[in-house]
Amino acid sequence: MQDIIDGFLKFQKEAFPERSGLFKQLATSQNPGALFITCSDSRVVPELLTQREPGDLFVIRNAGNIVPAYGPEPGGVTATVEYAVAVLGVTDIVICGHSDCGAMTAISTGKDLGHLPAVANWLSHADAAKAVNAAHTHESDAERLSAMVRGNIVAQLNNIKTHPSVALAMDQNVVTLHGWVYDIESGSIDTLDGSSGRFVNLANHSQGPSEPAASGITA
């Protein structure tokens, strides 16, 4: 714990003064441009990956970067999505999975989660991706996991479209959905191409401000 405290003291002494103007502005308002939904995995740091400053991203983190479909008993993820879209007016939503994901590994290998009932229940929101992945033949465990990670991104993008705030924003063409997969070892990101339905390297398919969102999925 001491190293965490030391980190805060370093932040207070060095990083905070360098951004004092930014924090003064953020003290009374926020205007994030994107909602970033990713895994709780300690190796995935949204602000580091995207080189964003405080206030730029509205972030949801949970096991497996899951977004439950909208239902009669909305939970924390649902409430956060609704607030980001309907109140903050984010224009982009990124659902980002990653390599070596423990949640997706448990699903793809059929691991017994009887001793983790809360985890098992949570991962049931990835059942659609699980079914699709199980119906395909994979040459290796690594390929099966990779396909599961990508299939889960597609499933969660479909889930988030069931949220009324997102459906309305998409109908009004004011929000774009993006599916990403971050590779921890290489530092690369693959993005779901909306026209082909395939994941492609983001660095080779990034778009300029006047070009169509090749990595986005629109209504």
Q: How many domains does the chain have?
A: 2
Task: Indicate if 100 and 180 belong to the same structural domain.
Answer: yes
Catalytic-residue membership of 96: no
Task: Indicate if 21 and 72 belong to the same structural domain.
Answer: no
Task: Indicate if 11 and 78 belong to the same structural domain.
Answer: no
Cross-strand partners of 38: 61, 96
Catalytic-residue membership of 138: no
Task: Indicate if 78 and 22 belong to the same structural domain.
Answer: no
Catalytic-residue membership of 39: yes
Catalytic-residue membership of 115: no
Which pLDDT score, from 0 to 100, does residue 198 have? 94
Task: Indicate if 210 and 162 belong to the same structural domain.
Answer: yes
Which residues constitute the domain of residue 44? 31-217
Of 3, 6, 19, 41, the catalytic one is: 41
Task: Indicate if 153 and 194 belong to the same structural domain.
Answer: yes
Average pLDDT of the segment spanning 18-23: 96
Share of the chain above pLDDT 90, in %: 90
Q: How confident is the model at residue 211 (pLDDT cuts 50, 70, 90)?
A: very low
Write the DSSP symbol of residue 203: G
Q: pLDDT tens across 49-94, in order?
A: 999 999 999 999 999 999 999 998 889 999 999 999 999 999 999 9
pTM: predicted TM-score of the whole model, two decimal places: 0.91
CA distance 8 to 61: 21
Catalytic-residue membership of 178: no
